[in-house]
Structure 1
């Protein structure tokens, strides 16, 4: 008798798990939730991409390396397009860091800066070797707030961290926009 009771308990637990799994699957499907990368497809005929070093039109030294590296990382991570040299690619992603502005957004009692916001704008295009533009955005921008400290080195580290955060976010945005438009 005890064996039948244990068997019923196991059966009830399995049934509950199945019901919960079905409920979760249906509710996630119904609310528009999707997994990262779902629905992204490469432009027709594009299987490989070259990413050129972005032109730096700002006074921020080395920023082009940060942004270009993050773009390359994003495409490498997703494995949707293989990164190759420019002469072997189906498309080339190129452009510039068009502007960078740093604005004070909050002041101390003595009119010093307490917080600043850095805003960076990119001008990018994805082109076929023929020159045909597949995708472009000339006003892609991101912003990040950072703390100002009485220690100039700490403030500079905060500013650099803000730039890196913008770079990572914009790289992901570029990747997704290029692949979701098709």
Structure 2
């Protein structure tokens, strides 16, 4: 009986504080259709804007009831963003002081603007990091870095979606 009482209290507390499962929120101002602009690249790393923009479009396209549209006149809002940082740093070394592992980090900022009046409905900054091993073969090393960047872009897109939906 005591467990039932505690469970009931816990459920009521969680409901009272506005808790809801991830993915069950709403977009600001009831936005249902968005147009995603190409992210600006403020780094020296080529093509990051394409990778991030494509992952954002892919992630947002998978979610319902939100729809990604290509034409401005069909959208409630526009998602604009920029890749603001890219860094690769060594994070581990072997006994001979040779690099063993790298960490790539990408930072973005984004804003969701209403098409009606241009006001900002949501604005935020995010970053994500991914570790990857070093390889003596230069092409394998570049492939590892590219895979890490793609995974970072995927995680950033997911987090962007959830943060916008939760309106944090």
| Unmatched segments (≥5 aa) in structure 1 | 1-25
Secondary structure at 1:154's aligned position in 2? helix
Residue by residue, what CA displacement relative to the aligned partner does 1:33-58 show, whole Å, maximum 9, x if unpaired?
Answer: 976522x1122242210101101112
**Cα RMSD (Å) of the superposition?**
2.3
Q: Tell me if structure 2 keeps the 8 A contact 1:49–1:82.
A: yes
| Unmatched segments (≥5 aa) in structure 2 | 1-6
Residue by residue, what CA displacement relative to the aligned partner does 1:112-150 show, whole Å, maximum 9, x if unpaired?
Answer: 21101111110111111222111111x311001110011
Residue by residue, what CA displacement relative to the aligned partner does 1:83-103 show, whole Å, maximum 9, x if unpaired?
Answer: 122233111101100010111
* Paired position in structure 2 for 1:51: 36
Please list, as runs of the form range in 1=range in 2, the aligned pairs for 1:31-46 lying within 5 A after superposition: 36-38=22-24, 40-46=25-31
Q: Tell me if structure 2 keeps the 8 A contact 1:42–1:80.
A: no
- 1:64, 1:71 → 2: CA distance? 11
**Larger Rg over CA atoms:** 1
- 2:112, 2:34 → 1: CA distance? 9
Quick one: which of 53, 67, 87 aligns to 1:82?
67
1:149 aligns with 2:135: yes
- 4+ residue stretches of structure 1 with deviation over 4 A? 32-36
* Paired position in structure 2 for 1:167: 153
* Paired position in structure 2 for 1:128: 114
- 2:123, 2:153 → 1: CA distance? 17
